[in-house]
Every structure is written in C-alpha cells, then in structure tokens.
Amino acid sequence: MTNRIGLFGFGVVGQGYYEIAKNHRPALLPETIVVQNKNKKRDHSLQFSFDPKDILDDPCDIGIELISDPAQAYDYVSSLLKSGKKVISANKKMLSAHLPALLELEKTYGGSLLYEASAAAGIPIITCLDCHFAGDDISKLQGILNGSSNYILTRLFQDDLSLQEAVKLAQENGFAEADPTLDINGSDVSSKLTILSLHAFGRYIPEGEILTIGVQHVHAADVALAKSLGLKIKLIATAQKDKEGLNLHILPTLVGDNDPLFLVENEYNAAKITSQNLGEQFFQGKGAGSLPTGASVYADLTKAEKGYGYSYDKLNGKKITTELPQAASLEVIISADSPDALHPVIGSASIHQANGRYWAISTVSTAELIKRLPAIEANKLSIVALNNTISEDNVLAQIQRQETVNIS
C-alpha cells in the first residue's frame, strides 16, 4: 500500500525529512511539494508547486505541514483535516494556539493529526507521553525544550562568552534564527509546554498564561555565581500538578550535578517526567537541526501509515477545556544594574551589592511575576530560580563572598 504524500514547505525541517525518506524508503517521499517563494534558490532536480490547491484539492492520503507562518499553517492543516486526511505538522505556535479546534476537526471528520517534531525535535516525547504513559498519573514534567537557549547557556558557562557573543555563535552554527527573539525570550518553550501539558495532564493551558522568562537577561555575574556554587543555569520549563490544577513556569534555573539535566549541553533538549507507575523517566536528545527534526516527521509518517493516532489518554474521552495555571511560589535570585530596578519585584527582601550588580533573594509568586513582566523587561532584571538546589543562606553567603571579585 503506497500513500500519496503532499508536503507544504521545504525549509530546514522539510529537507531533513526529504533526505531521510530518499535514503531509506523513497515510497515515503512527497508526490507534491508546495512552497511559497518563487524566487528562492532551490534544488533544480526537484519539482515544486506554488499552488496549495495542488495538495488541498488533490486526493492525497497524508499531508505534511512544515511552513513557518502559523496562520497559513492553520489554514492548511484544518483544511486537510476537514477532508478527513492524515496530517503531520511541526508548527508549535500554530498547534499551541489551535489544538482544541484541531482535535474537534479530527474527531468530526475522521482524520488524524500527529506532531512529534513540534516539541523537543528529535526526542519522541509526545508519542511516549501519549502511548507509554497511558494508564499512568503524571505529577511533574520538567524539561530543557529550546536548543538555541541551551546552546547559548552552554557557551556562557564553557567559553565565558557574553550573551550577545553566544547568540551570534548560535546563529552562525544554525542553532538560532536570524531573528532569535522567540528562542531567547522563551516564547518557543511556552508553545511546547502547552502542547506537552495537554498530553501529560489532559489540560489545555494557553501559552500566554504561562510565566515565561527567557535567557535574554542572564548576566555574566549570574554565570560566575552559579559556577562558584558548583551549579549550572538552564532554561527549565516546569509543569507540576497540585490539587487545584497545574503550576507552569519557564525561567532560568539553577541545576546541580545530581540532576540529569546538568549534563544536557549545546543544542540538546531533555525531559524528565515523574509518574505513579514509572517513577522518574528521563529523555535526552537533539532539540534542533534538520535531520533530528526531520526524523521526527519521518517517524510520524510511519505511524500515520499504520493508522496510528494519538489517544490523548489523559483527556479520558472528554472535550478539551481551556484552563488557567495555578500560581506557584518560586525562590529566585534577582539581580540588576541598579537597586531601584529591584524594588518593584523583591518585596521586603534586602539588597546586596556584589560584582558591580545589585542582588536580592526572594520568594515570589508566578502570578506576581507575570504582572511584573513589563518592568522586568524594561529594567533587564535577571531572574534565576533556586530549584531546591541550594539554600537561600548559602547563595547569600556566596554573593557576599564575591563582593570583592571583579566581573568584567
């Protein structure tokens, strides 16, 4: 049985999937490839179409959507699902915004939608959450979900680069976009956390409701402090269940060497899942790149071929309802260039001067931090979660010890 496959988009991910299929099973190559830009230089041995109808109005069996524009991606994916087709997508922004509607279309028209490549690129995390954690009760999911940010943090720790230098290097090595904003401000991670939370907990929390602080204000002084404590800083996404609902937050976080996340470096991603049946499961793999992301698309294709669809086990057959996250308390280190910048966020905590920066350690609620995000951004506040790696007193003692150290 050969399936007719239509592909939208031929960028980094599309080319990765294409190469894998070509080398391994040409029957899984697309019959039609629709691209947008007629003037882009492309492989001359391939034929491209510029008309989406060549896929949408054609009796193809499986449609693959790998374009960057979320609105257009939604048009293509929803249109294919309305024709009862099998659809594969990697568009995390689009999926995160539209999963409830897309699931309804899937149910109504009998198609199926797979999207392994939309989170943690080469790690089969969505399929594992959906299938291997069936019948399980997940209490916590924690992960490093953005390859660019992790690459940048790795450079800060290993090569003593500044953030700007590290971003430039990430771009040169193909781990960050020309406009790296969505990567370094954590927005990309919040899309993924929304998608993963639906599979892990059966709860749909729009990404805009998640406390999201990226790596954009991590300072060389933070790196020096973490190093002096034997710790690293990673951009950690957390979703944790409590009696009322889900706590969700994404922010730079201290990680100790007894945590498997400590060894996740460069463009690698990871996810740690705590559940009733399985204890702690840990997955680590490449979180960016043409082949790793293309491999997840290819794997989805082999699943679609067999008729595999997500079971959304944690929804228990119920319709998706939109929920808000619960507020959680976080112990954080906050630092800035001036003491005034700290006041709106730190409450009554005392301010310490060291390494040419002003520091406070405070317990803050995620809801409060969300309200203060404009001030945090305006004042370039650096916020790093303690993550139970170390006591407030020990951090304070180290900050005070560093007072004479000069950070360039």
- Residues within the interface to a second copy (CB under 8 A): 16, 20-21, 23-25, 28, 116, 122-124, 127-128, 131-136, 257-260, 263, 268, 276-286, 289, 291-292, 294-296, 298-299, 302-303, 306-309, 311, 313
Cα–Cα distance for residue pair 208/187, rounded to 1 Å: 9
Residue closer to a second copy by CB (options 109, 308) is: 308
The CB-of-12 to a second copy minimum distance in angstroms stands at 14
Residue in the block written with tokens 């720790």: 157
CB contact set of 20 (below 8 Å; sequence gap of 6+): 291, 294, 295, 298
Of 192, 193, 170, 173, nearest to 181 (Cα)? 170
Residue 162: alpha-carbon gap to chain centroid: 23
At 182, phi and psi to the nearest 5? -65, -25
Distance CA 212, CA 377 (A): 11
Nearer to a second copy, 89 or 127 (CB): 127
C-alpha–C-alpha distance, residues 385 and 183, integer Å = 19
Catalytic residue among 192, 232, 272, 303: 192
C-beta closer to a second copy: residue 153 or 336: 153
Separation CA 120–CA 142 (nearest Å): 12
Q: Where is 55: in which H helix or E strand?
A: helix 53-56
Q: Which is nearer to a second copy, 25 or 82 (CB)?
A: 25
Minimum CB separation from a second copy for residue 377, in Å? 34
**Residue 354: CB partners within 8 Å, gap ≥ 6?**
221, 399, 400, 402, 403, 405
Residue with smaller CB distance to a second copy, 120 or 383: 120
Closest CB 205 distance from a second copy, rounded Å: 23
CA distance 376 to 240: 24
Q: How many residues in the chain?
A: 408
Q: Does the annotation mark 192 as catalytic?
A: yes
In the bound state with a second copy, the residue whose beta carbon lies nearer, of 298 and 359, is 298
Provide the minimum distance between the beta carbon of 251 and a second copy in the complex, in angstroms, as a whole number: 23
Helix or strand run (H / E) with residue 359: strand 357-365
Q: Please, which residue, 96 or 284, has the CB nearer to a second copy?
A: 284
Neighbours of 103 (CB within 10 A): 19
**What single DSSP character describes residue 320?**
P
Measured from the CB atom, is 190 or 253 closer to a second copy?
253
Interatomic CA distance for residues 335 and 346, integer angstroms: 10
The minimum distance between CB 79 and a second copy, in angstroms, equals 26
Q: Which of 90, 79, 115 is nearest to 15 (CA)?
A: 90
Distance CA 212, CA 237 (A): 9
Q: What's the closest the beta carbon of residue 105 comes to a second copy, in angstroms?
A: 20
Gap between the Cα atoms of 72 and 187, Å rounded: 19
Taking the C-alpha atoms of residue 115 and residue 275, their distance in angstroms, rounded to an integer, is 23
Structure tokens at 385: 């979660």
Which residues are catalytic, by number?
192
